[in-house]
Chain A
Amino acid sequence: MASDAHTNTNHASNHLETATLEGKNKVLGFWLFLAAEVVLFACLFGTYLALKSQTMSGPTSMELFDLNLVIVATALLLTSSLTSVFAMSAMNQRKLKLMQFWLGVTVFLGLAFLILEIYEFVHYIHLGHTFMSSAFGSAFYALVGTHGAHVTFGIIWISSLMIQAQKRGINTDTAPKLFVSSLYWHFIDVVWVFIFSLVYLLGKVG
């Protein structure tokens, strides 16, 4: 890769992900995408908060939610956000093995979170809380399910980038991709902060 020469000419901060114009554009474009995602989730949150009391005599949020499960899920996702930032520091030090280790931990924690969420949904469906059961159900699954879909996509995305990084190493081509996937993962954690606050905790207050 001839472009590798640019890496070291980069100014003081020495960030590999923004060392080339293409890398810069990817990061800039990704922030625009995240801004759109914020609006998407805000609309789902608005819908949920407006409809959460419409339970149609089905189970209410008070009866359904188990905060102990939510604490575990929150701990998993919050820690995965930290390991993802460690992976990015390792990347900027050009330490491939260390980066792969932290990315691996991130994916593992993400998978554990996803399994917990699937278990939770299956449990709710047995209790009669489904997508079709009430407006509360529809709004709940639309919001939390969209977040879960993002986690799923993030896991697939980061795993495939790990394979690519293993093949090609850390360079100005792979670094922006890895950096952008890490931004995505932090964004997923940001959304979860609002889900545990406004859905689960507020649902227990009534």
Chain B
Amino acid sequence: MTEEQQNSSPQQEESHKPDSTMKHIVSFAAMIVLTVAAFYIVMEDVVEPNMILPLLLFFASIQVVLQLFTFMHLNQKGTAYYTIFIFTGVIIAVVSAVGIILM
């Protein structure tokens, strides 16, 4: 077991670490901005009431895309199958949810 810890020399990954951390922080900041925007339009009454739902869905969707492609690493190589799986799920999910709401 201990040899793994000795093996754990950090030099292997060091080179591409800073910019991926940077990317995560930028995407985190974008999520904060989107969250604040969502609370703002509801709390401050700045847009027409019938525009609130589309805007909330829009902000939420961007946040989800950011989570998937930066935090959950779908931007990396070799993730095509993961993307196919999750988006198939999303399509079935949207159909189910809309079906239930309209029922």
A interface residues (Cβ-Cβ under 8 A, vs B): 1, 4, 7-8, 13-15, 18, 27-28, 31-32, 34-39, 41-43, 45-47, 49-50, 67, 71, 74, 78, 81-82, 84-86, 89, 92-96, 167-171, 183, 186-187, 189-190, 193-194, 196-198, 201-202, 204-205
- The majority secondary structure among interface residues of chain B is helix
In the bound assembly, the distance between CA atoms of A14 and B60 in angstroms comes to 32
In the bound assembly, the distance between CA atoms of A189 and B82 in angstroms comes to 18
Residues of B within 8 A of A74 (CB): 35
The answer to whether B88 touches A78, judged by C-beta atoms less than 8 angstroms apart, is no
In the bound assembly, the distance between CA atoms of A147 and B59 in angstroms comes to 20
In the bound assembly, the distance between CA atoms of A27 and B94 in angstroms comes to 24
Residues of B within 8 A of A169 (CB): 1-2, 4-5, 8
The answer to whether B96 touches A42, judged by C-beta atoms less than 8 angstroms apart, is yes
What 20 new A-B contacts, CB under 8 Å, besides A37-B89, A186-B71? A18-B78, A38-B93, A43-B100, A46-B98, A47-B100, A78-B31, A86-B24, A89-B20, A93-B10, A93-B13, A93-B17, A94-B7, A94-B10, A94-B12, A169-B5, A183-B72, A193-B60, A196-B35, A204-B42, A205-B42
The answer to whether B17 touches A89, judged by C-beta atoms less than 8 angstroms apart, is yes
Kindly identify, within residues 3 to 31 of chain B, every residue whose CB is under 8 Å from any CB belonging to chain A: 3-5, 7-10, 12-14, 17, 20-21, 24-25, 28, 31
B interface residues (Cβ-Cβ under 8 A, vs A): 1-5, 7-10, 12-14, 17, 20-21, 24-25, 28, 31-32, 35, 38-39, 42-43, 49, 52-53, 56-57, 59-60, 63-64, 67-68, 70-72, 76-78, 81-82, 85-86, 88-90, 92-94, 96-101, 103
Residues of B within 8 A of A36 (CB): 89
In the bound assembly, the distance between CA atoms of A82 and B77 in angstroms comes to 21
In the bound assembly, the distance between CA atoms of A8 and B9 in angstroms comes to 12
Residues of B within 8 A of A47 (CB): 100
On whether A94 and B67 interact (CB within 8 A), knowing A31-B86, A35-B85, A41-B93, the answer reads no
